[in-house]
Amino acid sequence: MRTVRTGSASGGPVGRVHDAGVRVRYAETDAQGIVNNAAYLLYFEVGRVEWLRAAGYTYAAMEREGFGFVVAEALVRYARPARFDDDLTVRTRLVRLGRVSLDFEYEVLREGAPLATGRTRHGCVDLASGRTSRIPDGLLRLRSDGRTAR
């Protein structure tokens, strides 16, 4: 995984942008050599996981605390096709951090040109009960430098 850049426009987690690199695998393409439309949701997941890691809070840490995120909504808009072995950048931005849910926006780029854009909404759940839960304090306390505030 290649990290390109990370930054925050707002001084907190909302607005923070992180770029992660992915290379298109052969299994993600169809018979015409074009990336299958569902693969973009996997690229979005790479973007989210790496966004959290760059911000100083990982999925593994969240799960150890007993929380998880479930996808409640996903939207993808396709502009141009990607193909096997393309080197892509997944630009991820947290755009909303609520009490029990959060929203990310994504751009999938090849050499700076947008191939797809999208948005996902995630609900926080308590892993033991499977019920909706408040966002973990560790994520709410993130500072703009990516370290957790004490």
In a domain, residue 135? The reply is: yes
Give the structural domain span for 125. 2-140
Total tally of structural domains belonging to the chain: 1
In a domain, residue 23? The reply is: yes
For residue 141, the surrounding DSSP H or E stretch is none
Q: Provide the whole-model pTM.
A: 0.86
CA distance 132 to 128: 11
In a domain, residue 150? The reply is: no
In a domain, residue 145? The reply is: no
**Tens digit of pLDDT at every position of the chain (150 positions):** 444 454 444 446 788 899 999 999 999 999 999 999 999 999 999 999 999 999 888 889 999 999 999 999 999 999 999 999 999 999 999 999 999 999 999 999 999 999 999 999 999 999 999 999 999 888 887 744 444 433
In a domain, residue 117? The reply is: yes
In a domain, residue 57? The reply is: yes
> Torsions phi, psi of 71, nearest 5?
-75, 120
- 65: domain CATH number is 3.10.129.10
